[in-house]
A and B are shown apart, each in its own frame.
Chain A
Amino acid sequence: MMKTQGNKSFSARRLGAVAAVAFAIVATTLPSALAAGEVLGKACTLEGVSTGTSSKSLVCVAGSSGKLTWQKVRLGSSIGAPIAEITPPQGSIEFWHYRPEDKATFEKIIANYEAKYPGTKITQVVKTTTDYNATARVQILANPKAALFASARGSIFNDFVKSGLTADLSNERFVKRNLVAKGLTAGTVDGKVLGVPYHYLFNNPVYNTELWAKEKWSIPKNLTGWVSWCKDAKAKGYVPLAWPGATRGQAAQISNSALMNSAADYNTLSDNLADLNSGKIDLTSTWFKGVADIYVKLRNAGCFPDNPTGVTEAAAYNLFATGKSPILPTGTFSMGSIKALSPALTGKMQLMSMVLTDGKVVAEGIMNNTFNLSVNAKANPIDQRIAKSFLSYLATGPVAAIYSVATTQHLNVLDIDYSANVDLLNTSSFQGKNTMLAPRFLILNTSVSDLTQDALIQIVGGKSPDDVLPDFSKQIKQKLAG
């Protein structure tokens, strides 16, 4: 009896402890805007804000009367719960991607998949991003065994599409039911899903919460605030932003923050970027001069490291991981690498809004759906089926959770349990913020995109926009003329 009571008592305590931990997790991970009251049918205040990307998530929507209420909305593009993966035929294919840091995780997932489907084999072909972007398309064109491949949203994905390499996945059931429909935009061309954007990234600065608490800093709310903060951080001996100016792709992430509030609204911004892409306007336009001026103000306030144009990605990560810099202005995708460099930072990283305007705020932050996974249209039908099967396997909640937790990436897949990774949980709150799809990828011409970023990098390096912008505009004009 006593023993039973003791057991009951122990179980009750254990239950209580579990409940307390669960409450603590929920309380700390729910977006601040969603801290309470997100009940089906109850009133909400901010249209479009969601409670997450689960098939049971609620979204704040306006009814016919205009009243905002929490509603259970369909996140997939068709009715029905997420489905299991497609059963593959036997055979072997190659899976090409540009994330060496994910190789081990994919190996684990592939091993599980191959154990489940004996006779089916997936081999990874992994390159660095730069190498991949420059060479993979041509190599895949000549290699039909590369039945599943990744590409970055924007000009790179666009080049793969133009090469006729991307099979239409629009009618696949897993695409309609397992993925967040909104997140498919980055892989959709002319209404066809030609790539499944796997990542749901936040290209916002990551900050070291411990350092921020120690220095009693609060997140600046506008450009003036950022200028003051940089001066303060620099005076205290920090490198305010661990900005990797020598690695164009990573240096460019901060341009999303500079661009997001540079125009009156998203449509105007996307029109401006489309005009820049086509040559209708150039870098000397009033709008882009305003963007460049943000960089000048940040540079003059000492926000960037010494010799910024020579700081590689590795050096910037090092600055942040060693606590010499309180902000890594890249995005959530860097957190895995940072934790590998400094495991002590686990749970001590958070995302921040970087509002670089003193005027109207169009968006608080940036999100991006990328790592577009496409099935090679030039692969033979059996290999295409294997590729679709493996892709559908990656798009199941439990498998996506393995990848997500191991690589510290939010994904575009429904029903992922992020609770096993404290950094993912901490940063999930951004899913409820007013974020903008990363605008820099709206420049689809690779040369224009690269030269635009190079111009901004040169400005950070110390040059005057009066010299840089006309020079790079001329270079863009010459590229477009060719």
Chain B
Amino acid sequence: MGAPALILFLAFYLYPALQNLQFATRRWDGITEPENVGFRNFTNLLTNDDLFYKTLGNNIEFTFLVVIFQTALALLFAVYLVKNTKTTIALRTLYFFPTILSSVSVGMIWLFLYDPNFGAINLFFKSIGLPSFALNWLGSETSALYAIAFTQVWFHTGQMMVVYIAGLQQIPKELYEAAEVDGASRWKQFTKVTWPMALPTTLVVMAYTTIQSFRAFDLIMVMTNSTAGPNNSTSIFSTLVYFTLFNELRLGYAAAQTIFMVLTLIAITWLQRRAFSGRYEK
């Protein structure tokens, strides 16, 4: 029964993964004959590549920001919109709307909004007398990553809100009724009932958001005009691998980078599960 699934797994997951390991030990431009270089790609990456460490830092910071804010906002919206009324359904639709847009469209919209001289955001700040808040959002090393992280949160919060709503609707009403009888405030109800009961959903949301953050490639490419930001300030693993592969034609080196990308992703997901699993099991 499991044979077809096993064949598919071997053909489309295990074999490419093993082949990637093999590529990582080669120096190859995809055109000429590959040269076996052993672990040189890995040592080079770890000892002589500042961009790699910058990317690692960017990726962790970007993921951290997006996971924290996207999860918190999604939960907040879900808590307020969990009941099915006309207003909540309309608001859910509104918040979910960005999710149905293509990432290129979202990137273009925010590229215009963030324009330092013509963009609506800076025009707004200037019009209310706060010109110091009108920044060079995407053109500055210090703000570009945060500006894109904000867009990523705007883009996907609605989607995670729907996941939360589905999870919150599974919480037995009796728990809230019992808490009300005990005189628990709404905050107490949230901390003692909603949050613990929503932990399994939170884990799913956080894991999915983490993976989404690693795949923010399209948004970053559009919003930085395919440059990974000023002085690579928005370079994350997916853009780094892309530029190494397609711009520099270094297939072996890109393969080595993907291995570190996967290891980082596994480490972050493991840490998240470890942080929550104890409480979840209780």
B-binding residues in A (CB < 8 A): 130-131, 134-135, 137-138, 159, 162-164, 245-248, 305-313, 315, 318-319, 446-447, 450, 454, 457-458, 461, 471, 474-475, 478-479, 481-482
Contacts and interface: CB of A to CB of B under 8 A. Distances in A.
B50 A475 contact: yes
A475 B138 CA distance: 22
A430 B226 CA distance: 32
Contact of B140 (A134, A248, A310): A310
Nearest to B118: A315
Nearest to B246: A134
B227 interface: yes
B139 A309 contact: yes
Contact of A130 (B44, B111, B115, B225): B225
A355 to B, nearest CB: 28
Nearest to B139: A310
Interface range on chain B (Cβ under 8 Å from partner) = 20 to 34
Contact of B247 (A134, A454, A474): A134
Contact of B253 (A164, A450, A482): A482
Contacts, number: 94
A312 B247 contact: no
**Most chain A CB atoms below 10 A, which of B49, B111, B231, B246:** B231
Contacts of B230: 309, 454, 457-458, 461
Contact of A478 (B48, B140, B225, B227): B48
Nearest to B32: A162
B31 A163 contact: yes
B115 A312 contact: yes
B258 to A, nearest CB: 15
Contacts of A131: 226
Nearest to A324: B117
Contact of B225 (A162, A305, A312): A312
Interface of B: 29-32, 44, 48-51, 111, 114-118, 136-140, 224-227, 230-231, 242, 246-250, 253
A474 B123 CA distance: 38
A138 B248 contact: no
B206 to A, nearest CB: 32
Contacts of A315: 115, 117-118
A191 B38 CA distance: 38
A245 B116 contact: no
Contact of B115 (A137, A159, A310, A458): A310
Nearest to A162: B31
22 contacts: A137-B246, A162-B32, A162-B249, A246-B138, A248-B227, A305-B117, A307-B140, A309-B136, A309-B140, A310-B115, A310-B136, A310-B138, A312-B115, A312-B225, A313-B225, A315-B118, A446-B247, A454-B231, A458-B230, A461-B139, A478-B51, A482-B250
**Most chain B CB atoms below 10 A, which of A312, A454, A471:** A312
B139 A246 contact: yes
B31 A164 contact: yes
Given A138-B246, A446-B247, A458-B230, A162 B29 contact: yes
Contacts of B137: 310
A311 B242 CA distance: 24
A246 B222 CA distance: 11
A450 B247 contact: yes
A138 B31 CA distance: 11
B224 to A, nearest CB: 8
A307 B139 contact: yes
Contacts of A137: 246
A312 B14 CA distance: 43
A478 B49 contact: yes
A2 B32 CA distance: 83
Given A247-B225, A310-B137, A134 B44 contact: no
Q: Across the A-B interface, give the 4 residue pairs with the lowest CB-CB distance, nearest first.
A: A310-B139, A307-B116, A309-B139, A307-B136
B21 to A, nearest CB: 19
Given A159-B249, A307-B136, A130 B226 contact: yes
Contacts of A309: 136, 139-140, 230
A248 B229 CA distance: 10
A458 B142 CA distance: 13
Contacts of B48: 478, 481-482
Contacts of B31: 162-164
A458 B144 CA distance: 14
Contacts of A481: 44, 48
Contacts of A446: 247-248
Given A164-B31, A306-B116, A309-B140, 17 more contacts: A130-B226, A134-B242, A137-B246, A246-B138, A246-B224, A307-B136, A307-B140, A308-B139, A309-B136, A311-B116, A312-B115, A446-B248, A447-B247, A458-B230, A461-B140, A478-B51, A482-B250
A457 B231 CA distance: 9
Contacts of B226: 130-131, 134
Contacts of B139: 245-246, 307-311, 461
Contact of A307 (B44, B117, B247): B117
Contacts of B248: 446-447, 479, 482
Contacts of B118: 315, 318
A450 B230 CA distance: 12
A137 B30 CA distance: 11
A310 B116 contact: yes
Nearest to A249: B225
A229 B27 CA distance: 51
A351 B94 CA distance: 49
Nearest to A479: B248
